[in-house]
A and B are shown apart, each in its own frame.
Chain A
């Protein structure tokens, strides 16, 4: 049978294109506009070409912020993914306690970002905070406002507290979909606990783990509110991640041109890394099917 060619259906895409144009493309274009011009306000623009991009690419300030950002994302992924899997494996499978655990796990996810920041900012204070005061009483020298390592530890623990639940809940959902017969067969086959994890649980969790890693990577790479509330990017610049640096540059110093160039590169980096993640993990999946 011959297929009828009719491309008129493409017109149906127009409403979506218009919507996306107004919601995403046009605002992005204003950023592009800023990035290639110099402006002193008053809507006066002077063509700058790729100057801001060149300046940003060679800026050591940006390099340092990027380095910190990569370190932060790597550390929280390295903690949250295994910890989330571990928690999911140990959660009760059914009954009242399963519901209780689910609610408990979901709680941190429901708290607004700046409230999380405020909670930890107060929690960690040496004078009145429960954590900070306890540590001080135990004789441990802890002060996130003037020690870079303490500040990093605080920000990372906070993120782990806030987001491990997400990984755990996604993994839990993946685990729940495994039929009981698999575990029974493994018992009959005398599989070790590790084998059950490696050959039954992990393969079944693979799909949700991909999503969990992607979400956590993107979110952590764009993190702003929580560290800003707790440390304000300090002490010094030690917890100034990309977003915090960007806001400082754009709003603090009103360097709109460099900030716009920065934004675009930032966006492209996230897009690129997410794409690489996704491609690598899905092709891994496919090659295993062969």
Chain B
């Protein structure tokens, strides 16, 4: 087990990248704590898998170093790094039995047969496949095959890290939840560093202590689920996390006040002068419908999603989402909305601006 350091790391799939656009991964410096449960979250094609393959050593980065603890492993082979990886689609050895599949990584490392047997039994119990241990892996369902892949990833106890590349894509929703819980439990029990790639925010937020959000080849924020929710560092984090995502509105910022189109919104803090495109971001959860207080609004649509309702409304020339509690009556008198001032974040060219001082 080791702390993973990415130093000045970048990767391009082209042999001679010319500008930043040619890089699948833009230059980054990060430290992944030993024993942490991380989720790499981002939309498809943002570089998550590239980053994962660089950590596991399947891919050599174009520039920068990868360190496990104090050891530089940039040029080390996958086997020398002693990591486990589970892929998006099930990889099983068809001609082997389930038992042989699970034992394979241990056997290749010359472990003691008695230990292998005990460990395989333990993992089989965890993935719920004790009954099928002596079956050939060939005829099994995709679900079962992926469980074997997961089991093979977790069978070694001494690994530096376990990497998961969207491992639950092919598993049915009920099993997904159960396996995720088991992974989490396993993490608590053994304290492996785990990195879990996904594009599903629920999966990321429930699995990880720290979520790493990637956008366009860059890590835009690394933080706890709470930090991502309350203070998204980048507008992408704002609208990618949350359902629906954060409302972003163009504004002119002047001290403790944001000027929208024909309206003013008080802010929870004071901001200095802003260069570039200025926006305010507020989560739908922090907007309240009122009958006279706040900004004038026109309600367009109300969707009931069960535990609350999502209201679409026009405010200051833009459409925004508001979350209204289930019991509240939404009548014709709801003509205004109020933003909670201290929940508003201010962005300049998509990056969050730190307040200059408290609200006066």
Contacts and interface: CB of A to CB of B under 8 A. Distances in A.
Q: Are A and B part of the same complex?
A: yes
Interface of A: 179, 181-182, 184-185, 187-192, 195, 199-200, 202-204, 288-290
Contacts of B53: 184
Contact of B78 (A187, A192, A199): A187
Contacts of B104: 189, 191, 199
A290 B91 contact: no
B231 interface: no
Contacts of B229: none
Given A185-B87, A203-B95, 7 more contacts: A184-B58, A187-B78, A187-B79, A189-B108, A203-B93, A204-B94, A288-B136
A200 B135 contact: no
Contact of B85 (A185, A191, A204, A290): A185
Interface string B62-102: 00000000000000011100011101110101111000000
A247 B300 CA distance: 90
A195 B87 contact: no
Contacts of A188: 56, 58, 78-79, 83-85, 105
Given A190-B105, A199-B95, A290 B136 contact: yes
B109 interface: yes
B152 interface: yes
Contacts of B78: 184, 187-188
A200 B95 CA distance: 9
A269 to B, nearest CB: 32
Contacts of A203: 93-95
A289 B56 CA distance: 32
Nearest to B58: A184
A290 B137 CA distance: 9
B277 interface: no
Interface string B34-54: 000000000000000000010
A195 B83 CA distance: 19
A190 B79 contact: yes
Could you tell me the dominant secondary structure of chain A's interface residues? helix
A118 B81 CA distance: 58
A205 B93 CA distance: 13
B139 interface: yes
A167 B84 CA distance: 36
B138 interface: yes
Contact of B105 (A189, A288, A289): A189
Given A195-B108, A289-B138, A184 B85 contact: yes
B105 A199 contact: no
A181 B135 contact: no
A181 B109 contact: no
Leading 10 A-B pairs by shortest Cβ distance: A185-B91, A199-B93, A190-B108, A189-B105, A181-B87, A187-B78, A190-B79, A289-B139, A188-B85, A203-B95
A92 B339 CA distance: 62
Contacts of B93: 199-200, 203
A234 to B, nearest CB: 47
B138 A189 contact: no
A176 B59 CA distance: 20
Given A184-B85, A184-B87, A191 B136 contact: no
Contacts of A200: 93
B272 to A, nearest CB: 49
A203 B138 CA distance: 10
Nearest to B159: A188
23 contacts: A179-B89, A181-B87, A181-B89, A184-B87, A187-B58, A187-B79, A188-B58, A188-B78, A188-B79, A188-B83, A188-B84, A189-B152, A190-B108, A190-B109, A191-B104, A191-B108, A195-B108, A199-B94, A203-B93, A204-B94, A288-B95, A288-B136, A289-B138
